[in-house]
Amino acid sequence: MLLRFILLLAATSASIAHAAVPANCMQCICNVESNCRVPSPVCQYDVGSLSCGPFQIKDNYFTDAILQDRGLAAIGWKTCSSTRSCSERAVQAYMARYAVSRRLGHQPTCEDFARIHNGGPNGFKRSATLAYWARVRSCLG
């Protein structure tokens, strides 16, 4: 049992080790999404589907995060979204999957992280995410 836990922990750490959303960027995304508060109720309807927690994570986003950090599956979307630390873990996993230099053509920046968070895997290319990025950039100062 202990060995299984250690292997799971190692796999989880390895899967998110290359995700590099800087703390200030993560904080500003959180601020823009919810003023960094866990809403009550945790999940609320937004753009036709539920968004949960301080990062307003949708089910499909969480499912993609699990592909990078399998340990999230055991926690579950709504439970994970109910805490900031687990929500950040899910965001890091999602970014480790999509905000990578081989997809972007450059090292990811806070702009890439914010626009992907807001607009999905290709959000960094969508003009619809520019206003969201402006809000995150304003928070960064």
The two structure tokens encoding residue 108: 């990811």
Burial status of residue 12 (CB atoms within 10 A of its CB: 0-12, 13-18, 19 or more): middle
Q: Which residue of the set 33, 69, 88, 112 is catalytic?
A: 33
Q: Report cis status (omega within 30 of 0) of the bond before 108.
A: no
Alpha helices, H only, 1-141: 2-16, 23-34, 59-68, 71-75, 77-81, 84-98, 101-104, 110-119, 130-140
Q: Is 46 a catalytic residue?
A: yes
Q: Is 88 a catalytic residue?
A: no
Q: Known catalytic residues?
A: 33, 46
